Amino acid sequence: MGQFNLKLYQSAQLRQEMRANPRLYQAMELVYMPLLDLQQHLKQEIAENPFLELTEAEIEQEIELKDDIQDEPLGDEIDWEEVLLNDDFRAEGRRENFEKREFFEPTPVDTKDLRDHLNDQLRFLSLPERDLRMGEELIGNINEDGMLTCELSEVIFGVNGWLDEVRPNALAAAEEIEDAQQQKAETEEILEIFQAYDQTEAVAMLEVIQGFDPAGV
């Protein structure tokens, strides 16, 4: 708002100066007047004022002076196209910020270990809860070299202990089913799903994990 008021003040001041200097105002009109209008204006002034005399040479000199003023290049004129196409001008303003950002923002590093990668592949198979638990127990006992850190029998023992804990709760939920036939089918399914793991099943699950990437378990 202050800048707008300043422009109004400057414009009003310029108009006051023009009214106070009519000769300057008239000279400015002559400078910016088109060539044909200038010739017509000069002839009209001569016709109206008998004391004025104008020769053809003076007219040509006046016209040449006007053309020189319009054609004369400004000494300090800036070639903005050249400036904008300059690579130094375009890059210099952002180079420092870019270099700082590149220095302070390290490249993200994958923090997953071998067990994480193996578990991701295990869950992708959509196995039953019983087999999924055995697979997780096997992967949990694998070191970074891809080797089991305990005997397979110990893994089986741990999984069967978990099955013994969850089996009673599942059977209790099945007993609440009112329909006798549906209750029997649900109980049989629970006993099959939560039956104890044996050595053969554990070896089969271990072979599944050995087929994951990276191999070598």
Residues 6+ apart with CB under 8 A from 19: 25
Q: Is the pLDDT of residue 18 over 50?
A: no
Q: Does residue 15 lie in a domain region?
A: no
Question: Can you give the pLDDT at residue 57?
Answer: 52
Q: Does residue 76 lie in a domain region?
A: no
Q: Residue 191: helix, strand or coil by DSSP?
A: helix
d(CA 147, CA 217): 5
Q: Residue 148: helix, strand or coil by DSSP?
A: strand
Q: Does residue 143 lie in a domain region?
A: yes
Q: Which residues are paired to 148 by β-bridges?
A: 142
Q: Residue 190: helix, strand or coil by DSSP?
A: helix
Q: Does residue 136 lie in a domain region?
A: yes
Query: What would the two tokens of residue 98 be?
Result: 């870019």
**Model confidence at 10, in pLDDT bands (50, 70, 90)?**
low
Question: Can you give the pLDDT at residue 212?
Answer: 84
Expressed as residue numbers, the domain containing 118 is 114-210
Of the two residues 38 and 184, the one the predictor is more confident about is: 184
| Domain total of the chain | 1
Count CA atoms within 13 Å of residue 184 on its CB side.
2
Question: Can you give the pLDDT at residue 157?
Answer: 92
Of the two residues 30 and 4, the one the predictor is more confident about is: 30
* Interior angle at CA 112, CA 204 and CA 120, nearest 5: 35
Q: Does residue 69 lie in a domain region?
A: no
d(CA 30, CA 19): 16
Closest by Cα among 69, 57, 74 to 33 = 69
- Burial class of residue 93, CB neighbours in 10 A (0-12, 13-18, 19+): exposed
Long-range contacts of 5-10 (CB under 8 A, 24+ apart): none
Question: Can you give the pLDDT at residue 50?
Answer: 63
Q: Does residue 67 lie in a domain region?
A: no
178-206 residue pLDDT tens: 888 998 998 998 888 888 989 999 999 99
**What percent of the chain is modeled with pLDDT above 90?**
6
Q: Does residue 183 lie in a domain region?
A: yes
What pTM was computed for the model?
0.46
d(CA 188, CA 4): 88
C-alpha pair distances (Å), 70 with each of 41, 65, 90: 19, 9, 33
Q: Is the distance from CB of 144 to CB of 168 less than 8 angstroms?
A: no
Q: Does residue 216 lie in a domain region?
A: no
Question: Can you give the pLDDT at residue 90?
Answer: 52
Summarize the confidence of residues 153-171 as an average pLDDT: 90
Summarize the confidence of residues 28-49 as an average pLDDT: 73
DSSP conformational letter for 142: B
Q: Among the listed ranges 3-12, 58-67, 115-124, which one has the minimum average pLDDT value?
A: 3-12
